[in-house]
Amino acid sequence: MSTDVFSDALNRVKQIGESADVSPEIIEGLMHPKATMTASLPVRMDDGSTKHFTGYRCQYNNVLGPTKGGIRYHPDVSLEEVQALALWMTIKCAVVGLPYGGGKGGVIVDPKHLSPMELERLSRSYVRAMADFIGPQTDIPAPDVYTNARIMGWMADEYEAIKRVKAPGVITGKPVRLGGSLGRDDATGRGAYLCVLELAKKKGLNPAETTVAVQGFGNGGYHAVRLLQDAGYKVVAISDSQGGIYSDNGFDVNSIYQEKQRSRRVRAVYCEHSVCELVDHKSISNEELLELDVDILIPAALEGVITAKNAANIKAKYIVEVANGPIESDADPIIDEKGIVVIPDVLANAGGVTVSYFEWAQNRAGYAWTLEEVHQRLEHIMQKSFADVWELTESENRSMRDAAYTVAMRRIGQGIEAHGTRDYFNS
């Protein structure tokens, strides 16, 4: 990940905004986060000592609605990363037409080194620090890297205890019995999968002849390739933070996922019921996976894995960004020159925030939807959003990333113009 990830994100907004004929006033507004909070989070450890962790929450832009975005627990979390993620979330919500602005949060911690009770204390400490900064009509957190439904349940419970109200809409991604939505668990991967289906229609892809590699086998990456395999696509490479595996013959995604839950490792296995056997494969690094000669590459890990240094080595015909910001801005021209079609993160991974929006809407209405309703509504939004971006890509001869950002900035611009801009007041 680039140490200057926020500057890189701003640079991309500025470059695309200027080429898209977006008002300088709108671009300037997107250069500055609305508000950011930094807090020291005291946590009583199991041995009786107290440790302090640093937590962040950024509300980037709320022109189109309350801010929305996940909370990640990771040792590499930084203020700059949180601000970049909040900016991307601002763009993402506008691309898919949600009534949200962008936000993001994070804690500098390796959650693997915490006991379950320490993890709960940390999560509640975060909410105590942020209780006056978040809220169901101001800023709505959700899960992200190394956070999950249980953690969101702890956070929602702590907020309600502090405020002395029932407020299920304050946080999304909760357990279903605590107001969570059906379909949230695979929403990010499903959104990416739906984008691939739309791309296949445009490019005439035959699933049986289309190879897929995924870097990152967490929630988003796993569900994306699981659904693609179910649709007939051939998944030939999978990796996690420890390394990867490759086979021309492809893998059974569910077998590998089942083994990872058991051993915490990505291993080339085929499982039938509880019996697993090793299959022929080649061990590869994450870097090697990115450069495989496959049809579809899915970077689903962290930011900045494709840079100007390795972009020329990318051989995939299509890249689907399930991770946030996996391609740095200085790699964009190289990728475009090679003719690689990129479905950008602000579209490809928008399924997660879309179903989070569904959860928030259900919480506010006090009425739960069926899984079928969630899937149908998600499919409708992803198909329409893909069509909006693709139409601009074709009509203005832009990359899909440029088109997605242009769609978003013009929608944000319409919100700003409704209040009046320099042109209005000087007319």
CA gap 144, 148 in Å, rounded? 7
Distance (Å, whole) CA 10 – CA 329: 10
- For residue 194, the one-letter residue type is L
Could you give the residue ranges of the DSSP H alpha helices within 69-141?
79-95, 116-130
74-79-82-87 Cα dihedral, nearest 10 degrees: -160
What's the CA gap between 173 and 183, in Å, rounded?
10
- What are the residue numbers of the active site? 104
Residues with Cβ within 8 Å of 427's Cβ and at least 6 positions away in sequence, in order, are none
Tell me, what DSSP letter sits at residue 331? Answer: G
Cα angle value 80/84/90 (rounded, 5°): 145
Sequence-ordered list of residues with C-beta below 8 angstroms from that of 37, at least 6 positions apart, any chain: 56, 57, 58, 129, 130, 133
Q: How far apart are CA 199 and CA 389, in angstroms?
A: 11
